Amino acid sequence: MKGGGGGGSGASAYGFPAKRRWKGLVIGVLGLVFLSMLVPLVFLLGLYNGFHTTAGYASDSQSSKPGFQPSHVDDIIRKLGPTLPKDVFQPNVIEPKKEVEGFIDESRETKESTGLQPPKVEEKPPKVEEKPRKVEEKRPKVEEKPPKVDALPKHTHENGTKVDGKVQATHRMIALDESGKPCEWKFGSYCIWREENREVIKDSMIKKLKDQLFVARAYYPSIAKLPKQGKLTQELKQNIQELERVLSESTTDRDLPLQIEKKSLNMEAAIVKAKSFPLDCNNVDKKLRQIYDMTEDEASFHMKQSAFLFQLAVQTMPKSLHCLSMQLTVEYFRTDSTNLELSQAEKYADPTLYHYIIFSKNILASSVVINSTVSHAKESGNQVFHVLTDGQNYFAMKLWFLRNSYKDATVEVLNVDHLKLHDEENATFVLPQEFRISFRTLTHSRTEYMSMFSHLHYLLPEIFKNLDKVVVLEDDVVVQRDLSALWSLDMGGKVNGAAQSCHVRLGELKSFLGEHSYNQDDCTWMSGLNVIDLAKWRELDLSQIFRGLVSEKLSKQDKSTDAAALRASLLTFQGQVYALDNSWSVYGLGHDYKVNVQDIEKAATLHYNGYLKPWLELGIPKYKAHWKKFLDREDLFLSKCNINP
């Protein structure tokens, strides 16, 4: 009994009872289970705290210890080294961009304080590398939410950054993307490039209103079909009508009414309401396509209309010039013109004087030619100008040149319709012809303008029988230098001294000129400034050669007299053209926007060949000044016809 009792008491003294042993095992197992769950959780939390936040901020625990980084994170980085950039955990430094509208432009200290770098505990801002690393080179992945720039720490100022007790001025300008949000890293450098290279949009409000009208028209049919949406339908309809009325009266932002901002906001609000309803996309898409097709047709119509109006504007006489001609014609018959006419008939046929021939229906144009020529002449008394015009403008021309004097020069006005000529069939008044020649190749196209004699030019030897040499000037020419040297010019037996255009050679017109013999490398010539040897002309009978070539062309091919005249002129003067020096004439001012300015200043004459004449509103503005300075702005009739408002 004692042995048994001793054994029992020994078990209780030196060992645990069975019940207590089981309790210890259960607690141990539960502890292991808890630890097995806690370790991964601690690992995950530690890994999260080891990385930067997606917005560029460090965690709270990390910010309190700037150099803290758990060791197990280093192990993971070493394992994932090839897939992560080496500086992914380094502070991001953004290069400041200066003088670019719409960009954040702050000091590096402010960037650290606003969260672009992890903020430090120390009062002094951390030092930044001398050569900051660009964000574009290696950029950590970030969320779509942009970094906040308005959460400034206590040590910053509203208008600057406080460093060592001093406030440094900063410029905060936010770059916006297409949606109006600040530029984010996910947009890459395009968002920044777009802001740097943004062009100023002219008439932006007009474009905005057109876009709103386009969208509203697309949504309106679908909204109108919705039940119980009569109020929104009426609102859309009213806004559409208002914008249509405004756009019909305005083409630029300056033409818009004062309340246009309010109208635009009302339309925008109506569009937002319309977009909030679940609509059938097919209906909206169908309406958009219909509007697009209508817009395309409308654009095509306006292109054709503008081309027609352009041709009408450049080929007809402006209203003001027509008014001037009519006013002068009426005044001519009211005035006793016989008392105004000067007896200078002996000068008209004097071969010792300098005779200039001008073909024109334009009073102002012919006046500018004469005025510019006389203004630069060393001696104007030996200059005689013969202005040939038609019966409609004859009396107006005559009165104009009787009322206006040009130093000591003499001006004669001739009515071609009243001239008694042998070739009466070709005696109708025709201005010098201008031709546009286009060359198309596989790689590019080229267009040149050529000015050529008309049928009337080939009557000059008969009209001026007593003259042996003349200078022919077109009415779209401005003279900038004395032309007296042309009368002593030795042309080597040639008939026509003219400016050559080597941009077009005869070989390029082979299909047009036909099988006649000519040198294909010869340059074409231009009318505008031409020195004509009438004695040599009569000797070679060039007028008859011209008529024969015109008849040949008209008999073989179409009945285009203009094309026939161009071909005949080029072939008639084949081998009879003396090339004037380039300093005598610069042409192209009626169509070429890129004429060399230095060539214009040095040239003796400027030729406005092309459609954009200087007296037209469509004329090239930068060339008009050379023409306008020789215009008599003080004449009473110019004021009556509003030519000089």
Name residues of the chain where pLDDT drops below 50: 1-16, 48-69, 77, 80-173, 185-188, 645
- Beta-bridge partners for 172: 104
- Please enumerate, as own/partner, the contacts of 553-559 that have beta carbons within 8 Å and a separation of 24 or more: none
CA–CA gap between residue 450 and residue 607 (Å, rounded): 11
Strand ranges for 315-375 from DSSP E: 354-359
Token pair, residue 624, equals 């008009």
- 497 forms beta bridges with 531, 578
pLDDT at 632: 79
Q: What is the pLDDT of residue 578?
A: 94
Q: Label residue 318 exposed, middle or buried (CB < 10 Å: 0-12, 13-18, 19+).
A: middle
Reduced to 3 states (helix: H, G, I; strand: E, B; else coil), residue 562 is helix
Greatest alpha-carbon pair distance for the chain in Å reads 177
Q: Is 119 helix (H, G, I), strand (E, B) or coil?
A: coil
Strands 477-479 and 605-607: antiparallel
Q: Which domains are present in the chain?
A: 204-315 (no CATH), 319-641 (3.90.550.10)
- The predicted-structure confidence for 349-359, as pLDDT tens digits, reads as follows 899 999 999 99
Distances (CA, A) of 371 to 327, 332, 374, 393, 413: 22, 22, 5, 19, 15
The answer to whether residues 90 and 34 touch, using CB atoms and an 8 Å cutoff, is no
Cα separation, 192 vs 81, in Å, equals 31
pLDDT of residue 393: 93
For residue 411, the model assigns a pLDDT of 93
What string of H, E and C letters represents the secondary structure of 585-631?
EEECCCCCCCCCHHHHHHCCEEECCCCCCCCCCCCCHHHHHHHHCCC
Cβ density class 104-125: b for 16+ within 10 Å, e for less: bbbbbbbbbbbbbbbbeeeeeb
